[in-house]
Amino acid sequence: MTIRNIHTQKGFLIIETLIAIVIFSLVAFSLFSTISFLQIRTQKSRYDAEASLLLQEGTEITHTIVFSNWEGYLDGVYFPAFDADDESWVLLEGEESGIKTRFTRNIRLVSVCRDTITGLQIADYEQSGVCSGEIDANSKIIVTTVDWREDDKDKSVTARLLAYKVPDS
């Protein structure tokens, strides 16, 4: 082997090493960016999932409580609480805050206003509070809302459930 071939091979080795370092750096940079994005997205998904569970829990508990004591709860804002003495759930007036240090939950009970001719629900009543038909004593709307702050933005999820009690014969 001549001295000229040895110098040529050393030059190619340096270029190959530099190319390998550049490729490795590009792959590492894109991997770290992807991992960082996935971690942030996972955290946001966790908040959304927790809020949905709190929403479902509040709606189901309220549904059970309202059916066990239909006339006991007037229209208003409530939150569920467990009564250890009676070993049952009750609704307390007001809003529940500081759930898992992040969430606020409130449950609104609203009477249903129905058109006297068609029997259809009058939607304006929920906002205005003025019933142009008649109040249905066998129906209530349960509106559950969970609020939280994420990345300096207010986020909220809401569920509505129309509860209907079959009238006693």
In eight-state DSSP terms, residue 84 is T
Closest CA to 79 of 107, 102, 52, 59: 107
Q: How confident is the model at residue 3 (pLDDT cuts 50, 70, 90)?
A: low
Q: Which residue has the tokens 């206003």?
A: 113
In eight-state DSSP terms, residue 130 is -
Does pLDDT of 43 surpass 80? no
Does pLDDT of 5 surpass 80? no
Q: Which residue has the tokens 């240090």?
A: 101
Q: Picking from 9-13, 34-38, 130-134, which range would have the lowest pLDDT averaged per residue?
A: 9-13
What is the distance between the alpha carbons of residues 162 and 111, in angstroms, rounded to a whole number? 10
Highest mean pLDDT pick, 38-47, 114-123, 124-133: 114-123
What is the distance between the alpha carbons of residues 28 and 25, in angstroms, rounded to a whole number? 5
Q: What is the pLDDT of residue 79?
A: 93
- How do residues 125-147 score in pLDDT, each as one tens digit? 777 778 888 998 899 999 999 99
Closest CA to 141 of 92, 80, 73, 95: 73
Please name the residues in contact with 136: beta carbons below 8 A apart, sequence gap of 6 or more.
111, 112, 113, 114
90 in the Ramachandran plot: left (φ > 0), alpha (ψ -120 to 50) or beta? beta
Please name the residues in contact with 54: beta carbons below 8 A apart, sequence gap of 6 or more.
99, 103, 105, 146
